[in-house]
Amino acid sequence: MTKARELLDEADRVFKSREYAESRDIYQKTADACDQDDPADAEVYVEALAQIARSHLVTGEKEEGRSWIAKVAQLVDGETQPRGWARYLGVRGRFEWKNDENETATQTFNEMYDYCVERELHDFAVDAAHMAAITAPSTDQIEWAHKGIAAAEAGNLTGWLGPLWNNLGWTHDEMGNHAEALKALTEARKYHYQSERDIPKLVADYSVGVQYRKLGQLDEALRWLKPAMEWAERLYAGKPTPVHAEWFGWTHKEMGELSLQQGDSSAEGKSHFETAVSKLREANMPEWDADGFAELEKRLAELK
């Protein structure tokens, strides 16, 4: 492994930690370290430039990112630089998606998926399927979710399987297929419980409980949701971060829904919804989902 490839791997780890500005600096160092006369480094170079473009896109600097991805388009060679080409397509597709060109983006991710499967680039194939499941019409999203799962299994990429099964579950949920959603989210839980972190496991339990509630299996829903709520409260008490406040809020919101569905007193449901609104406001939900927060406030007002 060349020095430039080692730097690229380090930058990718930082990027995955959502430290986008820091990762951009390391991607730039990676590009600077590349020997353009070395074919391996030439591929790393275009990968680093593509990721600089993506880091700008993620931080809302779309126009600045375009100049970087345009440069990659001029340099990358799909015949001799498979990882470079795969990464380029992944970033180009994201720019198309953020430009509300979903049909074009889906075509790009489809091309990326086929290219990567043929070359056994399983990590990029998973990414392509994951993105296509977002940009494709709802009728195709289930198929793309299964393609992503198949690619992750082929590459033994177990870290992807929790999120992929989770996405499939919530896609079924949006379509009203709650029995299928429960199956997928139960499978996702199996992989989330391989994590050492509390939040993925808590969310997995919560998600299963939500589907039992929507299926009308209220005793089973309570068996999942009440412990999830208590877990969220303990996490928040130990460290009142926005993430802990968010799941404190969501679990109380679901307990409020369950309480009303069980026919309990409206006062109990109202209490849960009051807690949900308070904690989700603390988690800055009005900034990242203004419509959803307004709907939650409307629900509470109706209960009052």
Please indicate, yes or no, if residue 213 is contained in any of the structural domains.
Answer: yes
Please indicate, yes or no, if residue 19 is contained in any of the structural domains.
Answer: no
What DSSP designation does 250 have? H
| CA atoms of 88 and 168, how far apart (whole Å) | 26
With a cut of 90, say whether residue 37 has pLDDT above it: no
Please indicate, yes or no, if residue 294 is contained in any of the structural domains.
Answer: yes
Please indicate, yes or no, if residue 168 is contained in any of the structural domains.
Answer: no
How many Cβ atoms from other residues are within 10 Å of residue 124's Cβ? 23
With a cut of 80, say whether residue 122 has pLDDT above it: yes
CB 15 within 8 A of CB 23: yes
CB 101 within 8 A of CB 131: no
Q: Give the model confidence (pLDDT) of 58-112 as tens digits.
A: 998 999 999 999 999 999 999 999 999 999 999 999 999 999 999 999 999 999 9
Residue with tokens 């799941």: 247
pLDDT for res 1: 67
Please indicate, yes or no, if residue 291 is contained in any of the structural domains.
Answer: yes
pLDDT for res 17: 86
Q: What is the CATH number of the domain that holds 217?
A: 1.25.40
Assigned token pair, 148: 């992503």
| CA atoms of 119 and 257, how far apart (whole Å) | 48
Nearest to 245 by CA among 255, 232, 258: 232
Q: Which of 92-101, 180-189, 257-266, 280-289 has the lowest mean pLDDT?
A: 257-266
More confidently predicted of 267 and 186: 186
CB 202 within 8 A of CB 232: yes
Please indicate, yes or no, if residue 105 is contained in any of the structural domains.
Answer: no
Q: Per-residue pLDDT averaged across 240-255, rounded?
A: 97
Percentage, residues of the chain above pLDDT 90: 88
CB 169 within 8 A of CB 185: yes
Please state the length of the chain: 304
What DSSP designation does 136 have? S
Domain range for 304:
197-304
Please indicate, yes or no, if residue 191 is contained in any of the structural domains.
Answer: no
Q: Tell whether the torsion through CA atoms of 52, 133, 179 and 162 is positive or negative.
A: negative
Chain mean pLDDT for the chain: 94
- Of the pLDDT bands very low, low, confident and very high (cuts 50, 70, 90), residue 18 is confident
Q: Per-residue pLDDT averaged across 139-167, rounded?
A: 92
Q: Per-residue pLDDT averaged across 282-293, rounded?
A: 93
| H/E segment holding residue 14 | helix 3-16
Q: Give the model confidence (pLDDT) of 176-226 as tens digits.
A: 999 999 999 999 999 999 988 999 999 999 999 999 999 999 999 999 999
pLDDT for res 35: 86
Please indicate, yes or no, if residue 209 is contained in any of the structural domains.
Answer: yes
How many domains does one find in the chain? Answer: 1
Task: Return the CA Rg of the chain.
Answer: 22
pTM greater than 0.85 (yes/no)? no
- Of the pLDDT bands very low, low, confident and very high (cuts 50, 70, 90), residue 36 is confident
Nearest to 102 by CA among 93, 114, 113: 93
What DSSP designation does 256 have? H
